[in-house]
Amino acid sequence: CYVVHQLGLGHHLIVLNYLINSFDQLQSFSSEDIKITDAVFDGVEVRVFEPLAKGDESLRRSVVYIHGGGWALASAKTGFYKHLCRVMAESLNAVVVSIEYRLVPEVCFPEQYNDALRATKHFLQPDVLAEFSVDPSRIAISGDSAGGNLAAAVCQQLSKEKDLTIRPKLQALIYPVLQAFDFNTPSYQQNLNVPVLPRHVMINYWIYYVNGNYDLAHALVINNHTALDVGQALSFRGLLNWTSLLPSSFKKDYKPVVQTTGMAEIIQKIPALLDVRAAPLLADNETLQLQPKTYMLTCENDVLRDDGVMYAKRLENAGVDVTLDHFHDCFHGCMIFTVWPAEFSAGIQTRNSYIKWLDENL
């Protein structure tokens, strides 16, 4: 992905990487009740968290977890995600498989998606589930932010593969990024410059992920890539009509930003922006009808709030059982901040609500 080397990951990525690595050194996580092993599933590294047997030989439930970080940061092995997965394994008495997909700049789309799909399909094989004493009927796929993007895309693909005998019972998506069609939804406008994820940073992540050129950033900001004269975008416009998908309390007085004439060459150069594997919110209704029971966590102070709310509404309209868990006082990324020196009440609150739903439904 030569463009990333030309541009650099920017100050945002450097700072976040520094914080993640620093906190790893400050805090060590261990538990005598959880066995943590590294494995390779169909060429993809994973970290497996297994509760130790306590005399009960019954099969356990399981969560396949895909970490966030803009497809460019973090790891299944970093302290934040190691801690989250350990807590999940302990709280749910579940086998948690955390996928170590490759990152930008080593690879770009669709390789992160391919890694997540391969590892998940490998785990869903009956003999592999038996090896880890997992109940085939009690498996969830989950992820946060870019990991929520990958989890949703993988779940969609799994639902369409007719030769699969085992599929996830649930999907649980944590403030996922689901579309690059409209960067002027109410939440993008409302949280334009809100940390941890201002709009220009999210657009940078998309450009890095799809191996685009940073010179196109301004055109994406004003939705030139999906203008009315861009033929490739026409069939998707109705699927992302936030004026009908969002509640009035979210729409407020914000107006849609729809250009009459734009830059069709953007989609020609970067077709991944409209690829459902990269943008699961673009999926057709037939695909959405096949999705499992869904948990969607969104935060008010997050540019991605409306991505999650729109997907929840589209799934609900398709007949899927959906729980939308919205937090009015929380921010993007908060769920991993549960460890000193970044132990926030927002992180504890969202994590507990997420685990409670899994415990009640998985």
Catalytic residue annotation: 145, 302, 332
Burial of 31 (0-12, 13-18, 19+ CB in 10 A): middle
* Helices 111-123/146-160 angle, 10° precision: 60
Task: Find tokens 């770009």 and name the residue.
Answer: 108
Cα distance between residue 98 and residue 281, in whole Å? 24
DSSP β-ladder status, 134-144 and 60-66: parallel
Contact assessment for residue 298 and residue 175, using Cβ atoms and an 8 Å cutoff: yes
Q: Identify the DSSP state of 263.
A: -
**Backbone phi, psi, residue 298, to 5°:** -130, 155
Residue type, position 319, single letter: G
Contact assessment for residue 67 and residue 98, using Cβ atoms and an 8 Å cutoff: yes
254: left (phi over 0), alpha (psi -120 to 50) or beta: beta
